[in-house]
Structure 1
Amino acid sequence: MITILNDVKSLGVFVAYDVVYGVDNMKYTPQLEEAINAAVEETRKTLSLETLREHPVIRAYRDFYWKTLKIDPTKQRPAQEALLRRVLRGEPLPRINPVVDAGNAVSIKYVVPIGIYDIAKIRGETLRLRRSRRGEVFRPIGGQPYELDNQIVLASDGQILHVYPYRDSVETKVDETTRDVLVVIAGVPGVEEERLLEAARHLRALLTLLGGAAAGDIRLA
């Protein structure tokens, strides 16, 4: 379960989240490869690097960065924008492992940031979106640990999974041994709930190609 504390909820933050059990994260399927390639092809046909920042959904996340997080989105880009820019420059979508790659494909298709976490590595059962506390340290994937300064985080029992809505923790990252996953799609003001739900449904379908089985309904918080 994910709970959003009132001081964060008042900022218009919301999420769609899903749990999928039993994925095989060691082997790509032809259907998944097809879906990843289709997402890249669609992106290049329908979007352009020159006008990407004016896309209404990208604009919403950029505005949230500037106005709420006080972060320059040209220096720390929203996660999905960074992926889209890479693809629109003609570079391949990053390949990490089947589950992460499925999430990235859905992220560029629906233009939303998607975090995927290994449930076995999460401490506690209740996750909260809250403000970071003085002295809390975040350990990002692909970076050095750093102390947080009043940022929005997804946390459980003192463990920080995610700095909202752009960076995930190495502590709960998905790797080849991962079998059960939590999917969290980050929403901000100006983005429709239905877009997040559609992205979650699409990702659930891709994870079933890897043998995954959904634990219940996709939820909004």
Structure 2
Amino acid sequence: MVQLTIADEVKKLVPQFKIGMITYQPIVVSDSPQMLKGRIRFYQEEMVLQLEDNELHQYPSIAEWRKTFKILNMDPIRYRPSSEALLRRLKKGEFLPSINSAVDINNFLSLRHQIPIGIYDLDQLNGPISIGIGTNKDYYIGINEKKNNMEGKLLSSDNKGPFGSPIVDSKRSIVTEETSQALHLIYLQPSMKESECKLLLQSVGEMFTQIHGGNFQLTIVT
């Protein structure tokens, strides 16, 4: 099982901070099946209609992650939680493109639960993982093709350095059709009860392995 710890500086600011972690192996990542593409498209269409009559701050999970970002001294207006960024695209009528089965499900789950969720290729990670606040030495090329300065931002790191965050992930750890084992990091709402967290993680793990095969192990890190 992957070792993951949350830095004291994070727990001091947000005592209820928790991360859901799921590992998968062996899995097969491919182009998303048409059934999955159809389901995700239908869900996006439903969300677009819903967002016409609702503002993002009305969603409790979005509001809580904005508040958490503020407590961590991250400007939630300048740096959007990835889940909110996805919803904002839908609110503009921009449907999400299909990347591959793993990324598509990851985006679907983030939209569905309105929380940041990251999916990573375990073979591209090295050693234990820590969740902390970035320094002026922390940066990476993100999936947005930009050099992202991670100073002052919540981020996940391994022995090679930072590789992900609830804002934007790095290219180093992306899941591709070559991926055979993966890691899900799920930024659970701090206010969620442990029983709620376990149900959510179980649901995520079951859906992911229904598409990709393999087995999963889950844990909640506090």
When the two structures are superposed, what TM-score results if normalisation uses the length of structure 1? 0.85
Offset from partner CA, 1:155-176 (integer Å, 9 cap, x none) = 111421213x211111101122
1: CA distance, partners of 2:201 / 2:52: 25
Structure 2 unaligned segments of length 5 or more: list them: none
Aligned to 2:124: 121
Residue pair 1:61, 1:78 contacting (<8 A) in 2 also: yes
Contact 2:205–2:216 under 8 Å retained in 1? no
User: Partners of 1:7 and 1:89 in 2: how far apart?
Assistant: 36
Distance (Å, rounded) in 2 between the aligned partners of 1:134 and 1:184: 24
Secondary structure (helix, strand or coil) at the match of 1:115 reads: strand
AA of the residue aligned to 1:157: N
Does the CA-based 8 Å contact 2:56-2:62 persist in structure 1? Answer: yes
User: 1:104-159 CA deviation, whole Å, 9 max, x = no partner?
Assistant: 111111111110000111011x1111232442332211233244323322111142
Correspondence list, 1:128-207, <5 A: 128-163=130-165, 165-191=166-192, 193=194, 196-207=197-208
User: Partner of 1:214 in structure 2?
Assistant: 215
Change (3 A) 1:2 1:38: farther
Report whether the alignment pairs 1:110 with 2:113: yes
The alpha-carbon distance between structure 1 residues 200 and 115, as it changes in their structure 2 partners (threshold 3 A), is: same
Kept in 2, the 8 Å contact 1:53–1:59? The answer is yes
Look up the SS of the partner of 1:177 in the other structure: coil
- Runs (4+) of structure 1 exceeding 6 A deviation are none
Pairs within 5 Å for 1:60-139: 60-71=64-75, 73-124=76-127, 126-139=128-141
| Conserved 8 A contact 1:39-1:106 | no
For normalisation by structure 2, the TM-score amounts to: 0.85
Within 2, Cα distance between the matches of 1:79 and 1:195? 21
Q: 1:192 to 1:90 in 2, by over 3 A?
A: farther
Q: Partner of 2:137: helix, strand, or coil?
A: coil
Q: Secondary structure at the match of 1:215?
A: strand
Distance in 2 of aligned mates of 1:6 and 1:103: 28
Does the C-alpha gap of structure 1 residues 27 and 94 become closer, same or farther in structure 2, counting only changes over 3 Å? closer
Quickly say closer, same or farther: Cα 1:131–1:66, change in 2 above 3 A.
closer
State the distance in 1 between where 2:149 and 2:159 align.
17
Output the CA distance in 2 between the equivalents of 1:111 and 1:134.
Answer: 29
Aligned length: 217
SS at match of 1:220: strand
The reply to whether residue 29 of structure 1 matches residue 30 of structure 2 is: no
> AA paired with 1:62?
R
1:20 to 12, 20, 24: 24
Give ranges in structure 1 of 5+ residues lacking alignment.
none
Pairwise CA RMSD: 2.4
Counterpart-to-counterpart distance in 1, 2:80 and 2:53: 14
Residue 39 in structure 1 maps to residue 49 in structure 2: no
Query: How far does residue 192 in structure 1 lie from its aligned partner after superposition?
Result: 5.0
Q: 1:38 to 1:220 in 2, by over 3 A?
A: farther
1:45-90 superposed Cα distances (whole Å, 9 cap, x missing partner): 544464222221111111222332331x233221111111222333
